[in-house]
Amino acid sequence: MENYYSIGEASAKTGLTIETLRHYDRILLVKPAKKDPWTGYRYYSKDDIIRLNTIQALRCMDLSLKEIKTCLEYDNLKQVSAFLKQAEAQADKKMEKLLHAKEKIHLARQQYEQAAEHNEGPVNAYFLQQFEKRIIMISDTLKYPSLDVLWSYLRHFYGQIPEQDRKPYQFEDLAGIFLAKGKTRMFAVCSQYPEDARLQELPAGTYLCGECTEADREQVLEKMLEKVEMQTGKKPEYVLQMVMINGILQWKYQLQIYCGEYGDKKSRPTNQ
């Protein structure tokens, strides 16, 4: 039929499956302009195609078929405008979540590529590493990492700052645990920050580092503390446990214990 499309052609033009088009017909969401009384074949008009594409766009905004059907039945322009404004707001929220997810995926991919390139050594290998001064914000509530915590990690720390004071702050996309006096709190590393009593400074210097898994973290930490105390003659004031993503939904830790300032050989353990 001229100016009409078979169900297969309508499927190709809209990207909807034939079964979806039949379902929309059954629930009276989009009835084809013509239906052959003998064969039952459906034929769609150009207006039907436009309606189907509109529905598909609204579905991308996570709107239900019931909501879409209600909107398409409106005969009041103000109602249509209000509905589309709501749909636009939902689309903005979805885009924000997708961008956040993309950033997380990009970071994970970079970490996997770096790990493969450098062919990281075995877990539990100890080594000395120098760090510049770091400024951290310690969480008021978070104690240990979990999938939910890591997925929206930095949002938690921005949430600790009054909204009107957030602009000067920026955080690195890193997660860590601060252990001091038997208490643990998660922290974020600040890349930009104002003067703020809530922030804590980690001194520049040499740190004894060791990698471990969740299963052997306590054992590795105990050995590292003994090593540092034996060679420096004092107990460390704190331990950092950096979360290192090493697989999909998997992570390990890099333990870091401060040993002294650069060049302070007396307070640095030997790398053995």
Ranges of H-type helices in the chain: 7-14, 18-26, 46-59, 65-72, 77-118, 147-151, 153-159, 217-232
pLDDT tens digits for range 106-162: 777 776 676 566 545 444 578 999 999 999 999 999 998 887 788 788 889 999 999
Looking at this protein, which amino acid is placed at residue 44?
Answer: Y
What architecture does CATH give domain 5-73? Orthogonal Bundle (1.10)
Mean pLDDT on 218-247: 89
| Backbone dihedral angles phi then psi of residue 40, each to the nearest 5 degrees | 80, 5
pLDDT tens digits for range 231-245: 888 899 999 999 987
In the predicted model, is pLDDT for residue 166 greater than 90?
A: yes
Q: Lowest mean pLDDT: which of 120-129, 248-257, 262-271?
A: 262-271
**Do 84 and 54 meet the contact criterion of CB atoms below 8 Å apart?**
no
**Residue 256 bridge partners (DSSP):** 209, 240
Q: How far apart are CA 261 and CA 268, in angstroms?
A: 9
pLDDT score for 14:
92
Q: 3.20.80, 3.40.50, 3.30.460, 3.90.70: which CATH number matches 120-267?
A: 3.20.80
pLDDT score for 157:
94
Q: How far apart are CA 127 and CA 209, in angstroms?
A: 5
Stated pTM of the model:
0.57
pLDDT score for 200:
95
pLDDT tens digits for range 15-40: 999 999 999 999 999 999 999 989 98
Q: How far apart are CA 17 and CA 56, in angstroms?
A: 12
| 55 CB-near residues (< 8 Å, 6+ apart) | 24, 29, 30, 65, 68, 72
Looking at this protein, which amino acid is placed at residue 117?
Answer: E
Q: How far apart are CA 250 and CA 211, in angstroms?
A: 14
pLDDT tens digits for range 49-69: 999 998 988 888 778 899 888
Mean pLDDT on 94-110: 80
Q: Does the CA dihedral 220-225-228-229 come out positive or negative?
A: negative
In the predicted model, is pLDDT for residue 261 greater than 70?
A: yes
Q: Lowest mean pLDDT: which of 94-98, 119-123, 197-201?
A: 119-123
DSSP 218: H
Rg (CA), the chain: 29
Q: How far apart are CA 206 and CA 200, in angstroms?
A: 18
- Mean pLDDT, the chain, integer: 86
